[in-house]
Structures are given as structure tokens and as C-alpha cells.
């Protein structure tokens, strides 16, 4: 997920960890984003976070993002983990 304010994103992702919705959050800033929105091309600096959680928590996180995120339509994507450290 990205957000226009890296500090807001850091605080938001910290709350998700504190509330037990994800195990960890890795914040990256700055990220240079280029995207189309309502027919215009935008280029801006944003923050990005990678959240690590279980599949069963994804919808709760999406619901929280849609409720609290400053963007009208936040960009959210998920990726399955097919292998890794089982611990």
C-alpha cells in the first residue's frame, strides 16, 4: 500500500501491528509513484508499506485502510507466500 504522507503511513502501519492485524510492517520512503487518476497522469513522492499477515486477516486490513486512508481509492494488493521460514 502507498500513501501520500510517509509519516502518516508509518503511524498507521504501527497501529495495525499494535492491533494484531499484522505481524510486521516494512515502510519504504521515498517511493516515486507514477499513475493515472481520472484521466490525468500524476508523478509524486509517497510512502509505501509491506504488511506481513495471515490470509484470514487481509479483509480486516482492507476494511481499516478503506476507512482511514487519505486517498479516495487506496492502492492495495496482496501476494501469497509460497515458501519461506515456517517459524
* Alpha helices (H) along the chain: 6-18, 58-68
Establish whether the linkage from the previous residue to 33 is cis, with ω within 30° of 0: no
- Sketch out the chain's domains with CATH numbers: 2-68 (3.30.70.120)
Q: For position 44, what pLDDT does the model report?
A: 94
- Tally helices (H) and strands (E) across the chain: 2, 3
72 vs 84, more confident: 72
Q: What is the pTM of this model?
A: 0.87
pLDDT digits (tens, 9 = 90+) for 12-22: 999 999 999 99
What is the Cα gyration radius of the chain?
Answer: 14
User: What average pLDDT does the chain have?
Assistant: 94
Question: For 28-41, what is each residue's pLDDT tens digit?
Answer: 999 999 999 999 99
- Residue 2: name the closest of 63, 77, 79 by CA: 77
Amino acid at each position: 500500500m502507498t500513501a501520500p504522507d510517509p509519516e502518516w503511513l508509518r503511524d498507521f502501519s504501527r497501529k495495525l501491528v499494535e492491533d494484531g492485524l499484522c505481524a510486521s510492517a516494512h515502510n519504504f520512503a521515498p517511493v516515486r509513484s507514477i499513475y493515472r487518476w481520472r484521466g490525468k497522469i500524476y508523478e509524486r513522492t509517497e510512502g509505501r508499506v509491506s504488511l506481513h499477515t495471515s490470509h484470514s486477516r487481509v479483509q480486516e486490513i482492507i476494511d481499516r485502510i478503506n476507512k482511514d486512508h487519505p486517498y479516495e481509492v487506496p492502492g492495495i494488493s496482496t501476494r501469497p507466500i509460497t515458501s519461506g521460514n515456517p517459524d
